[in-house]
Copies of this chain bind each other. A is one copy, B any other.
Amino acid sequence: MTTQIEGSVFPGGPRTADGLREIGGDWPGGLPGRTRSYATGTMIARENWAERQTGVLLSGWAAASRTLADGKIQIIDFRLPGDLINACGDLGRATGSDLIMLTEATIHDFMRPVDALLHQGPPRFRTMLLCALSRDEAIIAERLVSIGRRDATARTAHLLLELGARLRRIGLGDGTRFACPLTQTMLADALGLSGIHLNRVLRRLRERGLVRFHDALVEIDDIDGLAALAEFDGAYLE
């Protein structure tokens, strides 16, 4: 599955996010820190976030999630290349969610408390940190609206459109066709649905000619129809 994502759909596509380049460009001495790879399925539990774990996801997909006592899982947000990881881990609060690698992934850790980064890093970094945090919040808020007040169909459509738009911004696809290494169960866990029901929702969306999701590939056939169904407005993604 990972191979599919990394290799076949966008063979020469960029593997590095714009956001990362921006950070690196202004940073004295380039990009200090340590880059590490993680295998698919690696989980960093929320108790294990050390203060130096503020970093950037360079490649691959990950998910911030929570697991409840009865085993139910809620994926809070998917992390795509360029997204900050654990932006505020050492400010005194528990991070609150686990991070699970959904593909092979590489993460660049800045190796410093985020507080030091904030005060000693270049001004541009401060702005970026603020931007990244506020975007995270906007994304989560939008998901909250979806889960709280949209039905399963609109909710699903909305998430697929969001993923397409986010991937397009980092050069992975054109917003209508993109590699998506998620299982239906994972998608359901992000949407607050059961996997079985999501399966039926996807079938209906497919039968209506709106979007197909198969073989780790999302193909949006009617982006206007889908956006209308979901009331999707990508402004919150900047």
Contacts and interface: CB of A to CB of B under 8 A. Distances in A.
A115 interface: yes
Given A115-B127, A118-B127, A238-B92, A149 B231 contact: no
Given A68-B149, A68-B231, A131-B88, A142 B236 contact: no
Main secondary structure, interface of A, reads: helix
A134 B93 contact: yes
A233 to B, nearest CB: 9
Nearest to A143: B144
A interface bracket (residues with beta carbon within 8 Å of B)? 35 or more
Contacts of A140: 137, 140-141, 144
Given A126-B126, A130-B91, A97 B141 contact: yes
A127 B90 CA distance: 11
A166 to B, nearest CB: 13
A135 interface: yes
Number of this chain's copies in the assembly equals 2
A50 interface: no
A149 to B, nearest CB: 4
A141 B96 contact: yes
A135 B140 CA distance: 13
A44 interface: no
Given A115-B127, A137-B133, A149-B68, A144 B88 contact: no
Interface of A: 64, 66, 68-69, 72-74, 76, 87-88, 91-94, 96-97, 114-115, 118-119, 123, 126-127, 129-131, 133-138, 140-145, 147-150, 191-192, 231, 235-238
